[in-house]
Chain A
Amino acid sequence: MTEQVATLGESASLKRTRRTRTLEQQQRLWGWIFLSPWLIGFLVFTLFPMAASLYLSFTDFTIGQPPNWVGFKNWENLFKDPVTYNSLRVTFRFAIIMLPVAILVPLGLASLLNSKYLAGKRVFRALFYMPYIIPAISGIFIWQSFLNGQTGLLNRLLRLAGIADPPDWLFSPTWIHPAMVLIGLWGVGNAMLTMLAGMQGVPTEYYEAATVDGAGPLMRFRHITLPMISPVILYNLVLTVIGLMQYFVVPWVLSNTTRSNPETNFINLHLYREGFQFFHMGYASALAWFLFIIGLILTLIVLYSSRRWVYYSSGE
């Protein structure tokens, strides 16, 4: 009898295990099924092209011709090509101007919009965000007209303000980057919104306690707001760094009219021209990987440095 009970018990246990395994397997299967569209997309449209471009970077591939293996020739040329150095210089020069602006301006705007003394917050929020949803190409054409050296609205205003010879923003090597920063400022709405959301998530008790302790608005911003939204700042910083390495649409549209301006030849535009205008696909592939490596290193530096300045209230 005891043996029978034991046998029945083992049998039930086995069945349970089998059913459990089946359920796990089923869950796993459904998991893979639900993941598969993304996985297939990733494999076909990201991983395979990346692997192919790595291979092509060691070939002399050009459109319509079969690729021939050339070893490290494209990579050697990359380090000899003065255009590559210049386009990197242009990209970093612009990044040095744009990066602080892309973080500080939305931070400032978010702080203003978070102020309890500001009336019409919703209207301002919508107004600041609105340019972000305008297609980039349309926006750039509008800016081109606004910044035109002869008849642009900005220079007309500057002339009215007494500046007799205002800069030709888009054609001047000195002023093209400030002009691009102006264009870039139009799109800070998204960063502003994430920072505003971060600020609104800071518990009010912290501010109340700090106020009781005698902290002024600046002190509260410095010691409460900034640390509390530092993860959001990090998020925006990483996106901006990657975005700057991929900066393309604005210089590409502008370079149709300002092509000789060497300050519009960003590294990504150099890559595009080599690949799709000059059909040096092998060399362009090497440039793409070079750019990927630089972007990766910069992102890792930012992430590494974040240990020192990002505060996670709920731990990492």
Chain B
Amino acid sequence: MLGALPGAAQERVKITWFVGLGTGTNEQQIEVQNRIVEEFNASQDKIELVINIAASNQTAPDILSTLIASGDAPDIVGPVGFSGSNAFAGQWLDLAPLIEATGYDLGQFPENLVESYRSLDGEQLLGLPFAVFPGVLYYNVGLFDEAGLNYPPTEAGVPYVMPDGTEVPWDYNTVVEIGKILTVDANGYDATMPEFDPTKTIQFGFIHQWDTLRSDFHTFGANYVVDEEGKVHIWDNWREAARWLWEAVWVHHIHPSDSWISSDLLLGNAFNSGNVAMARSMLWYTCCLADAPAWDLAVQPAYNGTIYAPIDMDTFRIHKDTKHPEEAFTVLTYLLGDAALDLLTVYGGYPARPELQDAAIQAKAETYPSVQNWDVVARSIQYAPVPHHEEWYPNFNKGQTRFQDFLTLLRSDGGADIDLEAELDRLEADLQAIVDEVQ
């Protein structure tokens, strides 16, 4: 009798899903996410999934922190990367007991990806693999053709062939060499010529597109920011990465400064503007290449003979204060399972589950017919440096801000005149103070 009453529908357990810390806030994504929620709810009589999408990923952290502080934390948060998750370190539920209780098959994911979601002490599993965004090199086909340059290689260990036929290693020195040829001013001079005027640049050779300083550092090799004794390190290879970037901006002029990046020439989305020949980024950047001229993919350059291609990984997390962990886990497995391909397509992600990878690439290939080298995506996963470039350390949010401040300093107008080594020392000292605040 009670089951026939209208109120019976309200007995379904309500699970809230918060979107916005990473991707998921644009119109097309909202449409797909809403459809997935509807489909889930139609298939259920025990759980009602309610989605809460932030206006943008800039406002999302404030909204989520307010929800948590007011005791109204969402059950599921995502898609969210390592950095977004680390910003809320200590808030995520250990999934291991739920996996054990439900017999959820972890074998469907590559083991190394599962392991990357373990807590530092290895005792908790705080997430499951969903989307990976391998680090790749985007290049503008037309600008390479115009300059008479060969395209960058698509495999590690394959040399780059210079215009005169000589073979050179595909590394960051070569990027500078060809980057200069690809950097052109309004008078038609390129950056190899003495007449080149960097104040009148109309085309740049290379950019670390929408980067973080730590991802830039990790292109020259990975390491931990804080060692086991609590000491902060700006390692020598990271100092070399900073030196390379600084020279790329201020000495070779192949990389735009921040002022150029936000100018009318590059419009804040440099590679998409068609005025940058090469961009190091992750696969998620396919989100934002709608206006870009024909482009293709290559492997990232090597440092000392090894490619270090920082990778981003997104997943969905369950909040530790959820009142319904079993139901939240059911939703989580739905998002990682039946809904995964639709979500991955609209997020621009590459599936962590190998069985979905071909379909995901097929969807991308239809969107970007100019791209021939999609095989670079799968290959680049193995070049991902360990530890991750967004690895957690104490007082993470404040430290990350300090890292980014350094990047802006290096690339902003006054960056040409800084004493780089002294600034790196200062960065190290400041980070130590930041870490010590909470030690």
Count the A residues whose beta carbon is within 8 Å of the partner chain — how many? 30
Q: Are A63 and B412 in contact (CB under 8 A)?
A: no
Q: Which one of A171, A273, A276 contacts B413 once the chains associate, using CB atoms below 8 Å?
A: A171
Q: Are A261 and B260 in contact (CB under 8 A)?
A: no
The reply to whether the CB of A17 lies closer than 8 angstroms to some CB of chain B is: no
Q: Which residues of B (392-411) have their CB < 8 Å from a CB of A?
A: 395, 397-398, 401, 404-410
Which of B29-37, B140-148, B261-269 contacts the other chain? Answer: B261-269
Most buried by A among B62, B404, B410, B413: B413
Q: Are B265 and A276 in contact (CB under 8 A)?
A: no
Contacts of A278 in B (CB 8 A): 395, 397-398, 401
CA distance A258 to B62 in the complex (A): 21
Smallest distance from the beta carbon of B365 to chain A beta carbons, Å?
Answer: 34
The reply to whether the CB of A114 lies closer than 8 angstroms to some CB of chain B is: no
The reply to whether the CB of A144 lies closer than 8 angstroms to some CB of chain B is: yes
Contacts of A261 in B (CB 8 A): 408, 412
CA distance A170 to B414 in the complex (A): 11
The reply to whether the CB of B68 lies closer than 8 angstroms to some CB of chain A is: yes
Contacts of A151 in B (CB 8 A): 263-265
Given contacts A172-B413, A256-B58, 4 further A-B contacts (CB under 8 A): A148-B263, A150-B199, A171-B259, A279-B65
The reply to whether the CB of A145 lies closer than 8 angstroms to some CB of chain B is: yes
Contacts of B88 in A (CB 8 A): 63-64
Smallest distance from the beta carbon of B63 to chain A beta carbons, Å?
Answer: 10
Contacts of A258 in B (CB 8 A): 258, 408, 412
**CB-CB contacts of B290-325 with A at 8 A, as 1s and 0s?**
000000000000000000000000000000010000
Residues of A within 8 A of B (CB): 63-65, 144-145, 148-152, 165, 167-168, 170-173, 256-261, 273, 276-281
When C-beta atoms are compared, the residue in chain B nearest to A159 turns out to be: B199
Q: Which one of B264, B398, B405 contacts A145 once the chains associate, using CB atoms below 8 Å?
A: B264
- Which bracket fits the contact residues of B? 20 to 34
The reply to whether the CB of B237 lies closer than 8 angstroms to some CB of chain A is: no
Q: Which one of B61, B68, B90, B405 contacts A276 once the chains associate, using CB atoms below 8 Å?
A: B61
Contacts of B397 in A (CB 8 A): 277-279
The reply to whether the CB of B124 lies closer than 8 angstroms to some CB of chain A is: no
When C-beta atoms are compared, the residue in chain A nearest to B68 turns out to be: A64
Contacts of A273 in B (CB 8 A): 401
Q: Are B264 and A148 in contact (CB under 8 A)?
A: yes
CA distance A190 to B139 in the complex (A): 51
The reply to whether the CB of B193 lies closer than 8 angstroms to some CB of chain A is: no
Contacts of A65 in B (CB 8 A): 90
CA distance A277 to B405 in the complex (A): 14
Q: Are A63 and B413 in contact (CB under 8 A)?
A: no
Q: Are B69 and A257 in contact (CB under 8 A)?
A: no
The reply to whether the CB of B357 lies closer than 8 angstroms to some CB of chain A is: no
List the 3 shortest-distance A-B pairs measured between CB atoms, nearest first.
A260-B408, A168-B413, A260-B409
Q: Are B398 and A171 in contact (CB under 8 A)?
A: no
- Could you give 21 example pairs across A and B, Cβ below 8 Å? A63-B65, A64-B90, A148-B264, A149-B263, A150-B260, A150-B265, A167-B413, A168-B413, A171-B258, A257-B408, A258-B412, A259-B401, A259-B404, A260-B404, A260-B409, A261-B408, A261-B412, A277-B61, A279-B397, A280-B398, A281-B69
When C-beta atoms are compared, the residue in chain A nearest to B399 turns out to be: A278
Smallest distance from the beta carbon of A215 to chain B beta carbons, Å?
Answer: 51
The reply to whether the CB of B57 lies closer than 8 angstroms to some CB of chain A is: no
Q: Which one of A64, A145, A280 contacts B91 once the chains associate, using CB atoms below 8 Å?
A: A64
Q: Are B264 and A171 in contact (CB under 8 A)?
A: no
Contacts of A173 in B (CB 8 A): 414
Smallest distance from the beta carbon of B407 to chain A beta carbons, Å?
Answer: 7
Q: Are A150 and B263 in contact (CB under 8 A)?
A: yes
Q: Are A171 and B412 in contact (CB under 8 A)?
A: yes
Q: Which one of A165, A257, A277, A280 contacts B262 once the chains associate, using CB atoms below 8 Å?
A: A257
CA distance A285 to B407 in the complex (A): 29
Given contacts A258-B408, A278-B397, contact A149 B259 (CB under 8 A): yes
**CB-CB contacts of B91-129 with A at 8 A, as 1s and 0s?**
100000000000000000000000000000000000000
Smallest distance from the beta carbon of B224 to chain A beta carbons, Å?
Answer: 21
